Amino acid sequence: MKKNLRKLVLPLLLSIVALPAIAVNDTIIIRSDESTELIERDLDSLLNNWFIRMSVTGTDLSAGDSVIYEFSDSIYKDRLSRINSIIIPPYNNIVRNHIHVYTERKVAKFRVMLGMQDFYFPMIEDIFDSYGLPVELKYMAVIESALNPNAVSRVGATGLWQFMYSTGRMYGLTINSVVDERRDPVKATHAAAKYLKDLYGIYNDWILVIAAYNCGPGNVNKAIRRSGNRKDYWEIYYRLPRETRGYIPAYVAATYAMNYYREHKITPVQINLPLAVDTVMVSTDMHLEQIAAVLDLPLEELRAMNPQYRTGLVPGRSRPSPVTMPLDRLGDFIAMTDTITGYRKDQYLTTVNQTTMPQHSTSTYTPPDVSGKTKLIYTVKDGDNLGFISEWYDVPLSELRYWNNIYRNTIRVGQKLTVYVNPAKAERYSKVNSMTFAEKQQLEGKPVGTTALALASSQSSAAASVEGDYEFYTVRYGDTVWDIAKKFSGVSASDILSLNNITDASRIMVGQKLRIRKKS
């Protein structure tokens, strides 16, 4: 068996002695042993076996050059500095460890992603450019989904850009039992672009935007507050959720690896998907299996190009729906549409009208990933919202929804919510349920007068002094900041957030009065 050789392009000293911890801005010490196990685990789960079988030819993924190429810190840093980007990628020992995930420990899976980039990156670049976003944000998709549009995380985040149900709906994605547009690479990328643009309107810093995309603006804001209002990522590093602490280093590492894989002698695998594709809108119901059979297309290839159709049914009758296929077969599809819809129609289309939305239970349940945590029950009080509750218990908002089968932000007074917390702090958190609102806000170091709740409750008294200067909108059930902004010409979601001192867009409440703009 051929030995696994290691070609070191390092000074002898560095090949013997590991680098010590690195200082950032002369104040924060980042440990050199920061774990990369989360990104490695995610690569294993996101690049599932079906996706690998679909995306590559009969290639031995383990084959290739057995020499592992490492370089000195100065070379890594110099290469990163030469990447044309307005997002300045930082470099430290944590970033180096993440680079090694792609270039050493998970090379086989990285080769699949290299093969997929030719299929997805041109589309992402085109969409991001149309929104005025830095196109290098495309590397976030490597971290989010490993460029797998069918990826589903342990908490239910789905698709190329890993949208949760509520966020996907907030940005206009259709999600039901037939169609899940979180899996539609084009529509999900448009939604991701809008979300990133809104986040930039809050932070005006791309590194914080990337962090907030991962863990939510609420967690980033909390880390900023608890770090003395510092707004440098590395200064709030240890205040962020563990997963997000690895997210920026992983993003920098993905940016490096996607640009310099050749220097590491890593070769992309060849994918089965055609690079020349086009999309046609259909206005009648049809099934992907009908299209594949009539046009003699590989079914798995067609499914891979149209991953948003959960069952294979394209519901064009309810509204025009896109079908993506190889460019050279588009003419055949147009010419044979009637033949396609008529092919074994009784088998594929008789149950269309029986399709219903899945029913979600609102009862609590025990997820598989809370072993070792202490279960607490919180009773919803008047004025509460999920954003507040997640902060009081120091848990991610997405996980609070996940634990309680909540797919929107709506909760009701008296509702019992299950929360899983660190056993070491269970005694502290067990008191939250009996605290007043003011006490809970003080627990987070937030004066009550500046909270969204206080703003909402004081609107009636404040209205007399500001009503003549501003246009107002009263929040209704189901509203989001982005929906409200669309109702007013020339008003953006960022404008509304700024004008009302709101840092987390999910924390608006029914009945709350929002300033929209100054009256002209």
CATH number of the domain enclosing 469: 3.10.350.10
User: Is residue 284 a part of any domain in this protein?
Assistant: yes
Mean pLDDT of 399-418: 76
Q: Which residue has the higher pLDDT, 11 or 161?
A: 161
* pLDDT value at residue 272: 78
Highest mean pLDDT: which range of 39-43, 345-349, 357-361, 492-496 = 345-349
* pLDDT value at residue 407: 58
Mean pLDDT of 446-465: 38
Tell me: do 176 and 228 sit in the same domain: yes
The three-state secondary structure class of 392 is: helix
User: Is residue 368 a part of any domain in this protein?
Assistant: no
Structure tokens at 424: 């070491």
Q: Which of 442, 475, 497 is the last residue of a domain?
A: 442
* pLDDT value at residue 370: 65
Tell me: do 285 and 416 sit in the same domain: no
Tell me: do 49 and 195 sit in the same domain: yes
Nearest-CA neighbor of 249 among 222, 210, 217, 221? 210
Place of tokens 């990285």: 110
* pLDDT value at residue 44: 56
Using pLDDT thresholds of 50, 70 and 90, give the confidence band for residue 481: confident
Tell me: do 292 and 157 sit in the same domain: no
Q: Which residue has the higher pLDDT, 267 or 441?
A: 267
User: Is residue 469 a part of any domain in this protein?
Assistant: yes
| pLDDT higher than threshold 60 for residue 11 | no
CB of 440 closer than 8 Å to CB of 388: yes
Tell me: do 327 and 459 sit in the same domain: no
Tell me: do 53 and 198 sit in the same domain: yes
Q: Which of 385, 418, 442 is the last residue of a domain?
A: 442
The three-state secondary structure class of 506 is: helix
Tell me: do 425 and 478 sit in the same domain: no
Q: Which residue has the higher pLDDT, 324 or 8?
A: 324
Lowest mean pLDDT among 6-15, 117-126, 191-200, 331-340: 6-15
* pLDDT value at residue 332: 92
User: Is residue 359 a part of any domain in this protein?
Assistant: no
Mean pLDDT of 460-477: 58
Domain that holds residue 159: 6-19+39-264
Where do the H-state alpha helices sit in 306-408? 330-335, 337-342, 345-349, 386-392, 397-403
Q: Which of 304, 333, 349 is the last residue of a domain?
A: 349
User: Is residue 70 a part of any domain in this protein?
Assistant: yes
Name the domain count of the chain. 4
Structure tokens at 68: 């592992």
Return d(Cα 494, Cα 481) in angstroms, integer: 9
Tell me: do 304 and 407 sit in the same domain: no
Return d(Cα 385, Cα 508) in angstroms, integer: 9
* pLDDT value at residue 50: 45
* pLDDT value at residue 53: 52
| CATH value at residue 117 | 1.10.530.10
Tell me: do 256 and 309 sit in the same domain: no
Using pLDDT thresholds of 50, 70 and 90, give the confidence band for residue 270: confident
Tell me: do 149 and 65 sit in the same domain: yes
Phi/psi of residue 135, nearest 5 degrees: -70, -20
CA max distance for the chain:
83
| pLDDT higher than threshold 90 for residue 140 | yes
* pLDDT value at residue 355: 42
| pLDDT higher than threshold 50 for residue 364 | no
User: Is residue 356 a part of any domain in this protein?
Assistant: no
Tell me: do 298 and 429 sit in the same domain: no
| pLDDT higher than threshold 50 for residue 462 | no
User: Is residue 54 a part of any domain in this protein?
Assistant: yes
User: Is residue 34 a part of any domain in this protein?
Assistant: no
Tell me: do 86 and 178 sit in the same domain: yes
Mean pLDDT of 343-370: 57
Q: How far is CA 411 from CA 113, 407, 454, in A?
A: 40, 10, 19
Mean pLDDT of 177-194: 94
